[in-house]
Amino acid sequence: MMTTENKICFQHGMRDGCPIALGYFAVAFTLGIAAKNAGLSAIQAFMASVLNNASAGEYAGFSLIAAGSTYLETAIMTLVVNARYLLMSCSLSQKLKPDTPLRHRMAIAYDVTDEIFGICVAQPGYLNPWYAYGAIVIAIPGWAFGTYFGVMMGNVLPTRVVSALSVGLYGMFLAIIIPPARKNKVIAGLVAAGFATSFLANRLSLFSGMSTGLKTIVLTVVLALLAAVLFPTDSVSKEEKKEEVS
* CA-based radius of gyration for the chain: 19
Cα maximum dimension of the chain:
60
Q: Choose the weakest-confidence range: 62-71, 200-209, 233-242.
A: 233-242
The closest of 136, 143, 107, 102 to 119, measured between CA atoms, is 136
Per-residue pLDDT for 245 more than 60?
no
**C-alpha 124 chain-centroid distance:** 19
Band of the pLDDT at 16, cuts 50, 70, 90? very high
Q: What is the mean pLDDT of the chain?
A: 82
The count of other CB atoms within 10 Å of the CB of residue 223 is 16
- Work out the angle between the directed axes of helices 129-153 and 114-121 (0-180°, nearest 10): 160
Instruction: Say what the pLDDT of residue 188 is.
Output: 86
| pTM value surpassing 0.85 | no
Cα atoms in the Cβ-side hemisphere of radius 13 Å centred on 79? 6
Band of the pLDDT at 8, cuts 50, 70, 90? very high
Instruction: Say what the pLDDT of residue 173 is.
Output: 63
How long a stretch of residues is the chain?
246
Answer yes or no: are the C-beta atoms of 102 and 235 closer than 8 Å.
Answer: no
Answer yes or no: are the C-beta atoms of 131 and 123 closer than 8 Å.
Answer: yes
Instruction: Say what the pLDDT of residue 155 is.
Output: 63
pLDDT digits (tens, 9 = 90+) for 97-125: 999 999 999 999 998 988 899 899 888 88
Instruction: Say what the pLDDT of residue 235 is.
Output: 44
Instruction: Say what the pLDDT of residue 164 is.
Output: 66
Contacts of 106 (CB under 8 A, 6+ apart): none
Side chain identity at residue 66, one-letter code: A
pLDDT digits (tens, 9 = 90+) for 120-153: 988 888 999 999 999 999 999 999 999 999 888 8
